[in-house]
Structure formats: C-alpha cells, structure tokens
C-alpha cells in the first residue's frame, strides 16, 4: 500500500491517493496552498498506525499546514479526513496572542485505540515568532471511524 500525490492534468489541482496494487482506495484534494515540493517532503513523513493500515501525514503550506488522516473502512476503502484545524487548536496552546512568521504541524505517532473503535494520534505544532523564537506543542487528537475529530 502506498500514498502518492497526483497532479491532475485536467487543471483541477493535486490529490493525495492511497493505492494498493495500482487500485485507488481513497483520496483527498490538496489545497492550492501546498506546493508539489511540500507534498513530496510530507510523503516522506507518513506515520503508519501499528495496525499497518491507517495513515497520517502533514504537509507544509504557504499559509498553514495541511494535515490528513486516512482511515480504512470495513469495505477496504479509505476515508480521508482533513484535520488541518488542529494547527489552530495547538496554536492556542502555544500562545494565541503571538504573531508567527511560520507554523508547521505534523503527526508524530499513533496512540492506543480507544475502546469505542476511535483512533488517536499525537500531532506536533512548531511555530516561529517574528523574532525567530521557536515554540512547540504536542497534543493528542481522537478521531472516530466515521471521520469525526474530537476537538478540544
């Protein structure tokens, strides 16, 4: 199983896809703020769930990160969940009153699944203020199998 980026020749933009044996099992459109180079870099940092099937990745955009989780359904297809909002939440933990020149969010590790079948993972946000000082927050996020994030 692989995750790849596809540049749609129809001019509609880029997509992230989960492929197995050449068959597309799930996909999500990539926001225009994420460059092809950022996609390539983010694909190197995919975090695989210990179950070997669920995936998470973060991609640096010019105005915030694009963070996505792929959850496998019982049918074998993947539900793609855009959890980019976690960056704003983690920014609140770091310090909401500061202005940042750069901010990046990536998944770092999966945590044990919840009893109700939900999954959880750690997401790390790093931010640099206007003076170059770096701040960081690493917070867990719970996501149900239907793709609902449990925002704090």
Summarize pLDDT for 108-146 with one digit per residue, the tens: 999 999 878 899 999 999 999 899 999 999 999 999 999
* pTM assigned to the model: 0.89
End-to-end CA distance of the chain: 32
52 DSSP assignment: S
Q: Mean of the per-residue pLDDT values for the chain?
A: 88
Nearest residue to 83 via CA among 122, 132, 33:
122
- CA 117-113-5 angle, 5° bins: 90
Question: How far apart, in whole angstroms, are the C-alpha atoms of residue 113 and residue 148?
Answer: 15
The larger pLDDT score, comparing residue 151 to residue 34, is at 34
> Domain residue spans in the chain?
2-143
Can you give the length of the chain in residues? 152
């Amino acid at each position: 199983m692989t995750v790849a980026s596809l540049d749609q020749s129809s001019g509609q933009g880029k997509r992230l896809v989960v492929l197995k044996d050449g068959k597309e099992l799930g996909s999500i459109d990539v926001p225009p703020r994420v460059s092809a180079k950022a996609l390539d870099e983010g694909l190197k940092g995919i975090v695989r769930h210990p179950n070997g099937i669920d995936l998470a990745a973060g991609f640096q955009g010019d105005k915030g990160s694009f963070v996505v989780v792929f959850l496998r359904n019982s049918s074998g297809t993947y539900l793609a969940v855009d959890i980019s909002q976690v960056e704003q939440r983690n920014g609140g933990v770091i310090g909401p009153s500061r202005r940042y020149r750069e901010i990046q969010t990536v998944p770092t590790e999966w945590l044990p699944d919840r009893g109700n079948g939900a999954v959880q993972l750690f997401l790390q946000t790093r931010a640099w203020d206007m003076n170059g000082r770096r701040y960081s927050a690493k917070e867990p996020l719970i996501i149900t199998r239907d793709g609902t994030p449990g925002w704090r």
